[in-house]
Amino acid sequence: MRSEHYRKYFKVPFMMGPNCLRLLDELLEEYPLQYTSDNLVLDLGCGSGITSLFIAKETGATVYANDLWVSEEENRRHFASWNMQDKIIPVCEDATNLHFDKEMFDAVISIDSYHYFAGKEEFFTQNILPYIKSGGIALVAIPGIKHEYDGRSKELLTPWLGKDAYMLQSADFWKRMIGSHKDIEDVRTWELSSFELPWQEWFGTKHEFALNDENYYESIICPYTTFVGVMVKKAEAMHTS
Ligand SMILES: C[S@@+](CC[C@H](N)C(=O)[O-])C[C@H]1O[C@@H](n2cnc3c(N)ncnc32)[C@H](O)[C@@H]1O
């Protein structure tokens, strides 16, 4: 796994949840992206930007690293300290109100973030799809609930997540949320094979939130949850002569 080469970032402040690089690595194994610096990728909800680093280094693209809670200034410092200031551009915008050029990105990637803001019908087609080039792709990995517990998030996850329990939904739910659109060629949602390692590496950071999550690992996280992958392929533009 290419994420092995990024071990020095498996700590606070770079880790903000279950190891995002393991999840991203699995997505990019399944859907490899080979780009040049002329290709643009949006890393949506990038946190402290290690996923942006991975995307820039492993795909070759120039990355727009967008986050809401981590400021542009803070991420600019991270990217400069990695000598990646020309390859990763920090942006601080709300994913529900982005201001990029239409059809700007070859790919939009979002790890452990999309569930905070995108669980509404038509969110994807209205707020994300317009920014993807024709023929481009969206790849998402988020915590979710296993297929067999679909619809029971509040009941099963509230002791762990409180009022945020509703955010963890099944692969089927996310397929419904993406919906259909004339510009969508293909949608796939599935349960990732990564599970224990990203969680254990998060617990290993000893962040106070990690220690809290660890308290619920055996009783709730393991039996009921999974990581959900989402892949959306945008249709090629139809050229008429
Ligand atoms: C758990 S952190 C994960 C960060 C990073 N992707 C990772 O995996 O380490 C969730 C991230 O989602 C981002 N986020 C939540 N709501 C957002 C919104 N409306 N627009 C943009 N980003 C958002 C937060 O800023 C936060 O950094």
pLDDT tens for residues 210-226?
999 999 999 999 999 99
- pLDDT, position 32: 98
The Cα angle at residue 129 between residues 117 and 192, in degrees rounded to 5? 60
Q: CA-to-CA distance for 35 and 136, rounded, in angstroms?
A: 12
User: Which CATH code for domain 2-234?
Assistant: 3.40.50.150
Residue 115 CA to ligand 1 centre (angstroms)? 9
Best mutation site among 15, 71, 116 for ligand 1, i.e. most ligand atoms within 8 A of its Cβ? Answer: 116
Record the pTM. 0.97
Q: What is the pLDDT of residue 239?
A: 66
| Under-70 pLDDT residues of the chain | 239-241
Question: Angle at the Cα of 5 (from 232 to 146), degrees rounded to 5?
Answer: 40
- The Cα 179–Cα 102 span in angstroms is 20
pLDDT at 238: 76
Closest atom, ligand 1, to C-alpha of 95: 20
Domain ranges in the chain are: 2-234
**CA distance readout (Å), 132 to 11, 79, 92, 107:** 32, 24, 19, 6
Token pair listed for 210? 């990690």
CA–CA separation, 20 and 211 (whole Å): 17
The confidence score (pLDDT) of residue 120 equals 96
